[in-house]
Amino acid sequence: MRVFGIDPGSTATGYAVVERSGGRFRLLVAGVIRTQTKDPVSERLKTIYEGLQAQLMVANADCVAIESIFRHRSSESAIRLGQARGVALLAASMNGLVVTDYNPMTVKKTVGGHGRAGKADVARLVARLLGTDHKLASDASDAAAIAMTHLMHSPFQRRPMARRGRI
């Protein structure tokens, strides 16, 4: 299974395509779509959408995994994140891909071993799980962690559907 992971953000949206074969993870592509804070919100959302759309078209992914919205200290930052997340959901939907979301604590617990793992810990473990020495940008690393979380959780999600004849 090939998963397109998305870490949405209004200034930096991370993406990564990860697949699992024989118990090993393989990173196919990862990057960050950056926007300019001086640009109007509508332009920033357009940049995110177009960037994700371009990546999704070549990724040949089976599904999308995305970080869910979590608590924010500022309602304004939660709204901006929600807008970026909405654009990401639209891009996935326009490509006919099923989306599963994971909260940050689940991602940290799955990849990092506990829900309180810091960004640096998660990035280090993502690199180790991918068997790579090169350091990914923080947002791309988070997107890879989200994709790996889906790959680790998806066998449990598929079983009930398979019994109903959907897979």
Decide if 43 is catalytic: no
Query: Which stretch of DSSP H or E encloses residue 86?
Result: helix 75-94
The catalytically annotated residue of 67, 101, 121, 142 is 67
Name the 3-class secondary structure at 99: strand
Extract the tokens encoding 44: 């920033």
- 24-34/63-67 β-pairing: unpaired
Name the 3-class secondary structure at 154: helix
The catalytically annotated residue of 43, 50, 121, 139 is 139
Decide if 7 is catalytic: yes
Alpha-carbon separation of residue 55 from 61, 91, 123 (angstroms): 10, 10, 22
The catalytically annotated residue of 7, 62, 133, 142 is 7
Q: Are 36 and 28 contacting, i.e. CB atoms less than 8 angstroms apart?
A: no
Across the beta sheet with 24-34, what order do the strands follow? 24-34, 12-21, 2-7, 63-67, 99-102
Supply φ then ψ for residue 161, to 5 degrees: -70, -35
Extract the tokens encoding 150: 């889906």
Decide if 139 is catalytic: yes
Residues tagged active-site: 7, 67, 139
